[in-house]
Amino acid sequence: MKIVAAKQILKANDQLADKKRAEFDAQHTLAINVMGSPGAGKTTLLEAIFREIPDSLQPAVIEGDLAEAIDAERIQQLGIPVVQINTEGACHLDANMIAAADEQFSDRDIDLLFIENVGNLVCTAGFDLGEHVRVVLLSVSEGDDKIVKYPTIFQRCDALIVTKSDLQPHMDFNFSRVQADMQRLAPKADIFQVSARTGQGILDVACWIGEHLESRHMSLSS
Amino acid sequence: MKIVAAKQILKANDQLADKKRAEFDAQHTLAINVMGSPGAGKTTLLEAIFREIPDSLQPAVIEGDLAEAIDAERIQQLGIPVVQINTEGACHLDANMIAAADEQFSDRDIDLLFIENVGNLVCTAGFDLGEHVRVVLLSVSEGDDKIVKYPTIFQRCDALIVTKSDLQPHMDFNFSRVQADMQRLAPKADIFQVSARTGQGILDVACWIGEHLESRHMSLSS
């Protein structure tokens, strides 16, 4: 019997993630790790973003779920290449899963790879997937106290995307509190307020992604 | 260096949980494991239930969070005994944490112990805390596809409580789909639709808890 300690697994994951990130760089692929609670609106946000990005860019999606392929089917209906990972109970994706899934795109020239992680505000935070940017979604229906209660994931994100802002009139959600908590915890992270239903803020997020593409010497028109 | 395999940890947890459950039985305490995503409304549901249960019953709460004591402070304001567990990054409570926290109530005669788990629809499912019943919350804002996507936790619950039902007019949430999925996955589980905001269904949940108390030879009036 071979026993492997958790620390070794994390180290092995980080090494594999670095290797995968170098491959993404060589392929001129921007990889985005999309995280959030179950039902935060991750797939719906991706659907909305795909309506905004120019046709010249080729996106792809890796979907992480415990079971089934509900989200992958939604992405496929948009004609976008997608691979579903079923973790079969595991609470997060890891770099090894991404390396295996990304092989499915080997015959394509992917500009933007969205990795939709398992819905989990805790365990996903600890695993580097080889991504270039990390975004965390927080729906207004989850409440404005989540930054303080689940600090690790928010501390390590490049952008916080507050989703379902159309529900704000029906909720006690103080956006200023979220801004103040993020200022303290992750002052460099950008913050967006979006509603996939009304379209509010979606273009801002798409442009932010475009800026990350450009900052990696890949122009939106390439 | 001592290395312990995950299977051994789970087995040790189950043994400790059985011991704790026997202690709860001897104390005539009904222990309820309350699970759900971040922001599903766990603390808000407890606040609403506490308004409905008779004064003759002594409740207590163990709050599980990664950090801070936001939820415990809310419970304390109601004058209800509460212990906050900070997991400091860990994604679920375990029986060992409950045993340590429950010691704080040793000078009291607790009838109902609510254990509010870490907001997590994945990892909490695998750990027995010594509870008698498991309830899982699903807010309508999380979407009606969550039973299928996170089957493990729903499969093992005694009751599904659909929260924030006052938001239903603003959401695409098909309650019949949830009922059908539960019928397939966990046919014995009871299902409730509640809104802590309007009060809908809260008394039903309180009565369901009362029935569990009675079925354990403890009457509501004792």
- Interface pTM (ipTM) of the complex? 0.88
Residue B7 has what pLDDT?
A: 75
Strand B112-116 with B133-139, pairing: unpaired
Among B139, B116, B99, residue whose Cα is nearest residue B63: B116
Domain coordinates in residue numbering, chain B? 6-215
Statement: residue B220 has pLDDT above 60:
no
Q: What's the pLDDT tens digit per position in A161-211?
A: 999 999 999 999 999 999 999 999 999 999 999 999 999 999 999 999 999
Task: State mean pLDDT over B56-65.
Answer: 96
Rg (CA), chain B: 17
Residue A65 has what pLDDT?
A: 94
Confidence class for position B219, pLDDT limits 50, 70, 90: very low
Strand B159-163 with B190-193, pairing: parallel
Choices 3.40.50.300, 3.40.1160.10, 3.40.50.1470, 3.40.50.620: CATH for B6-215: 3.40.50.300
What percent of chain B stands above pLDDT 70?
95
Q: Which residues contact A45 (CB under 8 A, 6 or more apart)?
A: A34, A137, A161, A163, A194, A196, A202, A205
Q: How many whole angstroms from its chain centre is CA A190? A: 14
Statement: residue B103 has pLDDT above 90:
yes
Chain B positions in Cβ-Cβ contact with residue A167 (cut-off 8 Å): 141, 167, 170
Among A44, A20, A27, residue whose Cα is nearest residue A205: A44
Tokens for B77?
Answer: 């304001």
CB contact under 8 A, A151 and B118: no
Tokens for B177?
Answer: 């789909």
CB contact under 8 A, B121 and A38: yes
Confidence class for position B166, pLDDT limits 50, 70, 90: very high
**Under an 8 Å CB criterion, which residues of A touch B?**
3, 5, 37-39, 65-68, 70-71, 89, 91, 118-123, 139, 141-143, 145-146, 148-152, 164, 166-167, 170
Statement: residue B73 has pLDDT above 80:
yes
Q: What's the pLDDT tens digit per position in A77-111?
A: 999 999 999 998 899 999 999 999 999 999 999 99
Residue B9 has what pLDDT?
A: 76
Q: How many whole angstroms from its chain centre is CA A35? A: 5
Please state the length of chain A. 222
Cα(A24)–Cα(A110) distance, integer angstroms: 9
Helix, strand, coil share (%) of chain B residues, nearest 5: 45, 20, 40
CB A133 within 8 A of CB A212: yes
Confidence class for position B2, pLDDT limits 50, 70, 90: low
Residue A10 has what pLDDT?
A: 83
Strand A159-163 with B190-193, pairing: unpaired
Cα(A207)–Cα(A213) distance, integer angstroms: 10
Statement: residue B222 has pLDDT above 70:
no
Statement: residue B146 has pLDDT above 50:
yes
Q: What's the pLDDT tens digit per position in A29-71?
A: 999 999 999 999 999 999 999 999 999 999 999 999 999 999 9
Residue B3 has what pLDDT?
A: 61
Listed as own residue / partner, the contacts of A46-49 with beta carbons closer than 8 Å and 24 or more positions apart are A46/A75, A46/A114, A46/A116, A47/A74, A47/A75, A47/A78, A47/A196, A48/A194, A48/A196, A48/A199, A48/A202, A49/A114, A49/A202, A49/A205, A49/A206, A49/A209
Confidence class for position B218, pLDDT limits 50, 70, 90: low
Residue A219 has what pLDDT?
A: 42
Lowest mean pLDDT of B6-20, B93-107, B157-171, name the range.
B6-20
Return the CATH architecture of domain A6-214: 3-Layer(aba) Sandwich (3.40)
**B13 vs B219, higher pLDDT:** B13
- What are phi and psi for residue B219, nearest 5 degrees? -85, 155
Mean pLDDT (chain A) is 93
Chain B positions in Cβ-Cβ contact with residue A65 (cut-off 8 Å): 149
CA atoms within 13 A on the CB side of B140: 20
